[in-house]
Amino acid sequence: MTDSYDDLQASYGRCLRKGHFIERFYALFMGSHPDIPPLFANTDFSKQNMALRRGISSAIVHAAGSRLAERTMAGMADVHGSRGRAPVPPALYPYWVDSLIAAVAEFDPEYTPRLGQRWRQAMEATTAFFVSRY
């Protein structure tokens, strides 16, 4: 049986309802490694924040095995691949996952270490997909 990750969708909803979740994620992510801020030097964060908001939802659904989300993730992976318009070196994905989980821990009032492990499991499945297409 495939895991639907409904608990992550609920957790993500709680994070978004508190407000400024995406902004906090980016603050954590930017501070997590010196190679990350230059990747965002010319970024319009009003657009990027919306893209990430949708991207996290898609990543959860992708980790659950959705074929529809696989197409979405393939497009995103291509954007962040070595020939994409916003390449992300594979070595930086663990910082993305760690920053996301840290933000979830801060924003989700129902966060538990077990929930954090589930977030990690799902997001590492998605980042592994991105790395495979790099």
Instruction: Name the burial class of residue 67, with classes exposed (0-12), middle (13-18) and buried (19+) by CB atoms within 10 angstroms of its CB.
Output: exposed
- Nearest-angstrom CA–CA distance, 58 and 10: 14
**Does 107 have pLDDT greater than 90?**
yes
60 Cβ partners below 8 Å, 6+ apart? 5, 8, 9, 12, 122
Q: What was the pLDDT predicted at 1?
A: 44
Q: 1 in a domain, yes or no?
A: no
Q: 72 in a domain, yes or no?
A: yes
* Residues 122-129, mean pLDDT to the nearest whole number: 95
* Residues 98-117, mean pLDDT to the nearest whole number: 98
- How confident is residue 8, by pLDDT bands cut at 50, 70 and 90? very high
* Residues 56-81, mean pLDDT to the nearest whole number: 92
Q: What is the pLDDT of residues 11-21, one digit of tens each?
A: 999 999 999 99
CATH code for position 124:
1.10.490.10
Q: 96 in a domain, yes or no?
A: yes
- Find the domain containing 44 and state its range: 6-132
* Residues 95-117, mean pLDDT to the nearest whole number: 98
Tell if the pTM clears 0.75, that is, is over it: yes
List of E strands, 1-134: none
* Residue 133 tokens, joined: 């297409």
Average pLDDT of every residue of the chain: 95
Domain count, the chain: 1
Q: 57 in a domain, yes or no?
A: yes
